[in-house]
Amino acid sequence: QVRLVDSGGDSVQPGGFLRLSCVSSGDTYGRYCFGWFRQAPGKERKRIAVISSGGGYEYLDSAVEGRSAISRDNAKNTVYLSLNNLKFEDTAMYYCAAVRVTGDNWCPSDHRAFDYWGQGTQVTVSS
């Protein structure tokens, strides 16, 4: 069992920067892929970024690619999502998620494959 607590969301102006954090607890021995997803009102949950257990595989959605980064600090059981040059369309609830995997360099693409979820942290971009 894994518990995730995500944080770091805030209300910022366009062009601003945020770093979201996801702290995990519980099973620290298994291999886990971590991901960040976001969901805006009336829209489906969307995968934004994932990072594999070993850190060798990363994915960034085209909507944030070039202005964001995902990273993990296994010593702190924390996964980060940095968002630069924030845009109005980045406004959403952001969720951290995890799924146990058997390999070090693979992550599922479908949010339904992820078993563990944080409570969400709100990012609002407004002027």
DSSP state of 36: E
Per-residue pLDDT of the chain (127 residues; tens, 9 = 90+): 899 999 999 999 999 999 999 999 987 667 899 999 999 999 999 999 999 988 889 999 999 999 999 999 988 999 999 999 999 999 999 999 999 998 888 899 888 999 999 999 999 999 9
Question: Which of 83, 115, 109 has its CA nearest to residue 96?
Answer: 115
For tokens 């959605």, the residue is 61
DSSP state of 80: E
DSSP state of 67: S
- The pLDDT value recorded for residue 1 is 84
- The pLDDT value recorded for residue 74 is 86
For tokens 């406004």, the residue is 91
